[in-house]
Chain A
Amino acid sequence: MTIATPLKDASQERQKAMIAEHFHKLAVAHETGRKAVYTFVPGNLTELLLTFDLLPVLPEINALQSGMRQKSGDYVQKAEKMGHSEDVCAYVKCDIGMLHSGNIGPTGERLPSPDLLLLSYTGCFTFLKWFELLKEEYKAPVAMLHVPYQSEGRITPTMRDYVVKQLKEVIIPALERISGKKYDEEKLRHHLALSAKAEDDLVHVLETAKRRPSPIDAYFGAVYYVGPIFSSFRGTTDAVEYYQLLRAEIDERVARGEGPVTPDGAMGPERYRLVVEGPPNWTSFRELWKMFYLEGAVVVASTYTKVGGVYDDGFRHDPSRPLESLADYCLGCYTNRNLRARSDMLIKYVKDYDADGFLVHSIKSCDSFSAGQLLILNQVEKATGRPGGFFESDLVDPRYFSAANIKNRVESYLQMIEQRRAAGAVR
């Protein structure tokens, strides 16, 4: 996620080097006898892949990188010309368009075709269709992990047993076949312990946003922070070191009483503290961020930074119960939670982070996030008394990003907060 990063702290340099190294390993994977496993961010089983010395590829990350590098528009249209509908998830079309344009990854090197498609079906129905499509494209085998939805707002023993059984009887045997290695639970425990360390530091960083001023932007800025843990690095010493570095940097900002760093340098005085629901737009990421920081609006908490795992409610990968904790991780990802749980999370954020209000960014082609968001908005408004706002665009399809319209919405929303302040409703 750091390819286009404007933040040049040591942690960022470190992340950039980690990513470059990983994509290089992928580029030479097949020459060096390594196997590539494609999988998804929510419900990724990175520690398990590491246990088998397999290299993860995250098509969503490639798609968002293509969005940031202004390549996604062409990829999406290429897929549409091939017969993919205008109405469906643009990540899928971006990925297929990229595949048919040489499969060049974000660092400019070619991605290997998958040796296995690890379909961790967690929190989004589209994942299922996406890998069915890739199965046809690559003629690669699929290992399916069905992660049930937390419809009652909790993980039941039946759900956990089901996932663990699949891990034992479907996923691990598939990884053994692909890698030619036996499952080694001790190795898995080792990686899980490293995950937990990195998770502690990530939570610490995200929670610094409770301070005034917040030293971080927990949406636009934090997409960089969650990069390693959401993708190929959870469970590695690289990730542990990255999060130690990051934590130290943010703690220094706190000590100096500084606000977030933006692409244009330090942000001015913090005027609005917001909570945001929904993923960002990637094709105009900086432009969108600018609409906020120029107004002194900082995002203090977001749900997007929980799609790859929710850690601020205390969950940690746990080496003492390896497969169960992987199951709980998958089951607990943000979009695998029901609407009431999602609303409650937002309500808690608004209160705990003392936000002036919250905004919903609705993604045109993402039903997993978007269906029901307006009701969430209504619930959060009711429970917190803070104003909610709503705007729409897309993740990687630039045709659906209307800058003027969105700017207008954001500005009117911030004005509304001002008016409420004047009326004494919001501090």
Chain B
Amino acid sequence: METPVNAAAGDPTESLRTALVERADALYRDVDFNCIREWKLQNGGAKAVGFLPIYAPREIIHAAGMLPVGVLGGGDAVEIVKGDACFQSYICHLPRSVVELGLNGALDCLDGMIFPSTCDVIRNLSGMWQILFPNCYVKYLDMPQNYQNHIGGEFFERELSLLIDDLEKLGGERATPQRLRHSIALYNENRRLVEELYKLRIHAPWTVPSSELYLIVRAGMLLPVEEHNKLCKQYIDAVRASARRPMDMARVVLRGCFCEQPPLDLIKTLERSGCYIVDDDWMIVSRWIDGDVSTEGDPLANLVQAFLQRSPACPSLYLQKGKKGDALVEATRDARAEGVIFSAPSFCDPALLDQPMTLAAVKNAQIPCTSFLFAENTGQFQTIREQAGTFADAIKLS
């Protein structure tokens, strides 16, 4: 990690923050998923279930006594040896590295994998997993595209009930209503903490560098929610005590990275080129539901309701009401951002097919914007740095 720009040397708050970020950074670099193996050992061989972006009902996995594990790709640290042989030339990078992680044994610690209906690549990856890893429980989770209670809601509730049955059969606990309520409460807290972190960044981005926020939130993809909640709280306390001072940077919203993740160095590059990222769509599973899921009444029905009514506007879900891009314009205003950066993975259909519509909305709202492509293993950032730098300068001068 870089030393924070104007941290006082020896400041105990800064040292605590550094320690927290270092811990999150170590998890980010744990591409062998050793932390999951350790967790299983410490928890008497409890099961762990992986999930691909962009959504998983983590509450249900947790209520089954299992650890939900975000499998977000191999980033820039995994060399693709076998993964390439499974895919054609023109495809995003995430499936290559996920298959690589599967074939190199890193994901052996996962007893199951959930593939949400994010796009055709992840959909087909679910079928590949069934073939390549016949001993792993594979669940393709069709997110409803009809948002009426008695239609899409009923379908989704049946899907989730099946998942509960399957996880019990896999050797977990029965996710009873009581257990589920407890898990929902923990994830409500988790979303509140993540939201607080995002709000702090909007309020004073110089106190919450995005490269740190990214790591802290990403740690939640591997840590048990109880531990992640602690980590978030500690980090938030450190941020609140921060004495860092603002710099002359442009406030931007970043969009397009909801599935394949940008390399950490890309985020740092954007910051170094003069951008305060004040909103983003990384790991949207952490912020999936707007507000709390009720812990009263039927918890499964509550999860379904929350999904139908309070999921984020996202390219993988059909936009039934309103206009494309309105949510982004609103988020830009809420974050008091001065510009939007569209940064999508190469060959990402949902992001790239969505982009002309959201881009038009942003332009109509007279919000400056720019766009570029990346891959999780991009290693050269010179062009992006120049483009983002020019963009930030233009915003500052306007």
Contact = CB atoms under 8 A, between A and B. Distances in A.
Contact of B131 (A149, A340, A365): A340
Contacts of B373: 87
Contacts of A364: 88-90
B350 A125 contact: yes
A372 B158 CA distance: 28
Contacts, number: 156
B131 A367 contact: no
B88 A151 contact: no
A166 B154 CA distance: 12
Residue among A87, A148, A158 facing the most chain B CB atoms (10 A cut-off):
A87
Given A136-B357, A149-B117, A367-B91, A375 B86 contact: yes
Interface stretch (A24-32, A53-61, A127-135): A127-135
B152 to A, nearest CB: 7
Interface string A283-297: 000000000000000
Contacts of A83: 355-356, 359
B122 to A, nearest CB: 9
A40 interface: no
B354 interface: yes
A125 B350 CA distance: 8
Nearest to A341: B127
Contact of B85 (A85, A338, A374): A374
Nearest to B119: A125
A325 interface: no
Contacts of B318: 119, 121, 128, 132, 144, 146
Interface string A379-409: 1000000000000100000000000000000
A371 B320 contact: no
A126 B353 contact: yes
Interface residues of A, number: 51
A119 B355 CA distance: 20
Contacts of A129: 315, 349-350, 353-354
Nearest to B88: A362
B70 interface: no
A254 interface: no
A136 B356 CA distance: 10
Interface of B: 85-91, 95, 117, 119-121, 123-128, 130-132, 139-140, 142, 144-146, 148, 150-152, 154-155, 158-159, 315-316, 318-320, 324, 346-350, 352-357, 359-360, 373
25 contacts: A82-B356, A87-B90, A87-B347, A88-B349, A88-B352, A128-B145, A129-B315, A129-B353, A144-B146, A146-B145, A148-B155, A151-B123, A152-B140, A161-B154, A161-B155, A162-B155, A338-B126, A338-B127, A339-B124, A339-B128, A340-B130, A362-B88, A370-B91, A371-B125, A373-B88
Given A88-B352, A88-B353, A146-B146, 10 more contacts: A82-B356, A87-B373, A130-B353, A132-B354, A132-B357, A149-B142, A151-B127, A338-B126, A374-B86, A375-B128
